[in-house]
Chain A
Amino acid sequence: MPQWRDPANHVMAKQEQPGLLIHEIGGVDGVLEGHVELLKKHFHLITMKEFLENKKRLNEKIKSVFIHECKPVIDRELLQSLPHLKVIANSGVGVDHLDLKLIASFGIKVTNTPHAVSDSTADIGMALMLASARRLVEGCQISVSPQTEHFAADWLGDEVTGATLGIIGMGSIGYKVAKRAKAFEMKILYHNRNQRKEEEEKAVGACYCEKMEDLLQQSDFVMLVVNLTPQTFRFIGKRELELMKPSATLINISRGAVVDQDALVEALQNGTIKAAALDVTYPEPLPRDHSLLKLKNIIITPHIGTATVQATRKMTEEAVANILAVLNGLTIPSEVIPIRCFREHTYALAYLL
């Protein structure tokens, strides 16, 4: 595409700019201050506060919504008050917080940012597996504890090199995890809705397990890299945990609701599995008195899978590109399409990449 034609390079005069609705700037869950300039280059930014104060004047201007940290919340009332809304662009790949059916009924497109998140999320999966196996967090506590007089010789962790990693969900993130794990000479098993092409499997040395049970029974580390859908909701429960080796570790970098948390607590308490490492829970954060927080054989990080300067920037850039494509009638890089699943009459997700 010639540079002058590329929407990303076409900077409009301010009053012509399409309106972009955002939750807020800065603060706990607002759009990052460092990204505002990029957004203002293409859009007239309108915060929810401004919108609610000036609905009549602003509702015609708003053509797009930028969702960051699941905000603003999209409900029927909001959609009805935005007659010119064309696209809701999510920052991040998961869209389980959006009612896709509802949004589609208004003729509005939804986009996400699968490319921006995959490296940093795969990195976090590896970081959690290594930190858990080598007892890194515990080790740091020992190193600084006022009680520490010596380092014990019989304090050991588990070897990651050469161990078996079972990846559940082999999309772009799962595949990047496999690439990294291969360099640690890990044996890689995977379970996915569909088997990957042979060349793709060979490139990372991954073996397909059509039955998830086979993967669970053989893995030293089980990593969850699926989307949250009605099919994956709580799909790791008591039965699945019991199928895992008692020496195995569960790592979750997808969504908290993919795991039955009560079953996980029990499994960790009883030694059904050895340990868990979670970047995601439900809710986030967990209530301060939650049982998961008391366990010794778990590490939890505060949903930081994409929390890098580079990834967050890329997410905003990818969202901007998606919005501009929709508004200019061009091919949309990452549209999320709700499809009807004929057997179950539920909506699942498909990505047009």
Chain B
Amino acid sequence: MEEQELPYVLIATIGGIDGVLEDHVEFLKKHFNLITMKQFHEHKSHLSEKIKAIYMWWNKPVANQELLSSLPNLKVIATGGAGVDHLDLKLISSFGVKVANTPFAVSNATADMGMALMLASARRIVEGCQIAVSPNTEYFAADWMGDEVTGATLGIIGMGRIGYKVAQRAKAFEMKILYHNRSQRKEEEEQAVGAIYCKNIDDLLLQSDFVMLCVNLTPQTEKLIGKKELEMMKPTATLINISRGLVVDQDALVEALQNGVIKAAALDVTYPEPLPRNHPLLTLKNIIITPHVGGSTTKSCRLMMENMVESILATLNGLPIPNEVNPPK
């Protein structure tokens, strides 16, 4: 196609800390005329009517009232990742704009990260690495120990795509798997991973050695894990969060970790990201935090990008949209 015929797609920026990945640009430019926010602001009158789609990477550019009002021909916003909690779905829908996410692309990488965090926390990998390289290390102490993952009880809260993949992996470690979900999974699905449904979240919290949060962030799941839930957990238990920071009441978590109400936590997500540098969570010894990298592999990012391109092209060509996110009722 000649360049002027390619659809105009708005992006935040290329490269840098939160821009579209440089490695993806070649593929994107095959299908789209990429317009950065900077270019858009400089040539608004000329570009505003041309832009048909927003390619949203790491939640940018932000789809607020101002931006949506200035894009009269916007048809679709494609956002990278599974979460859509950063989008005002009602507002976007009111402009007649469709939304598509990438729920499949990140599920393997995120399930892997959940397992990585559980193993790293249980076996004290980060601490161990520090000991191995510390200038003060003269010997390795015999009484330095972690907790066994094999055969322990894992409680999965949120048994969607990612939660189920976590269960598949945990089964190979002979873990006993409990799960809590809005609805119970089919019997064959449960049996395939040996997972037992806990209709009441309390039952899961009381029995688990590891509690893993794999839910979406919604008004119902905000601060799902608070003081009460943490107190129900075993004092020997570890909380692992690979969903969204807001699912946990962070102040309650700080207190629980300080007082030994639970043993440890491993978080890939916090609120905000990054945490302020003086936040108490950063000073605790019994926590590991990773910088929201659940979906951050070369392979998954590539797949995300391809999914987003597909969703945009389908919308603009009047075809059914893969991974469309339904507007709220």
Residues of A whose CB lies within 8 Å of any CB of B are 26-30, 32-33, 68-69, 119-120, 122-124, 126-128, 130-131, 133-137, 139-140, 142-144, 146, 148-162, 179-180, 182-185, 284-286, 288, 293, 299-304, 307-312
Contact = CB atoms under 8 A, between A and B. Distances in A.
Contacts of A126: 115, 119, 173
Nearest to B143: A32
Nearest to B18: A153
25 contacts: A123-B123, A127-B123, A131-B125, A134-B116, A137-B126, A139-B293, A142-B291, A143-B289, A144-B289, A150-B17, A151-B273, A151-B292, A154-B15, A155-B296, A156-B293, A159-B109, A161-B108, A161-B111, A180-B169, A184-B115, A285-B132, A299-B125, A301-B125, A304-B128, A309-B148
Contact of A124 (B22, B123, B133, B296): B123
B64 interface: no
Contacts of A157: 293, 296-298
B22 A154 contact: yes
B300 interface: yes
A80 B8 CA distance: 87
A119 B274 contact: no
Contacts of B301: 156
Given A161-B108, A299-B129, A136 B116 contact: yes
Interface in B292-316: 292-293, 296-301
A151 B132 CA distance: 27
A258 B298 CA distance: 32
Given A120-B150, A123-B148, A143-B290, A134 B135 contact: no
B138 interface: yes
Contacts of B108: 159, 161-162, 185
B147 A158 contact: no
B274 A161 contact: no
A119 B148 contact: yes
Nearest to B169: A183
Contacts of A302: 128, 131-132, 137, 140, 144
- CB-CB nearest 7 A-B residue pairs: A183-B172, A127-B119, A130-B116, A161-B108, A119-B150, A300-B132, A139-B290
A308 B143 CA distance: 9
Interface residues of B, number: 67
Given A139-B293, A157-B297, A288 B140 contact: no
Interface of B: 15-19, 21-22, 57-58, 108-109, 111-113, 115-117, 119-120, 123-126, 128-129, 131-133, 135, 137-151, 168-169, 171-174, 273-275, 277, 282, 288-293, 296-301
B289 A140 contact: yes
A156 B292 CA distance: 11
Nearest to B295: A156
Given A127-B119, A159-B297, A161-B108, A150 B128 contact: no
Contacts of B139: 28-29, 285
B123 A308 contact: yes
B140 A284 contact: yes
A28 B142 contact: yes
B291 A130 contact: no
A309 B122 CA distance: 11
B112 A159 contact: yes
A350 B317 CA distance: 67
Given A130-B115, A134-B112, A183-B169, A300 B150 contact: no
Contacts of B109: 159, 161
B272 to A, nearest CB: 10
A123 B145 contact: no
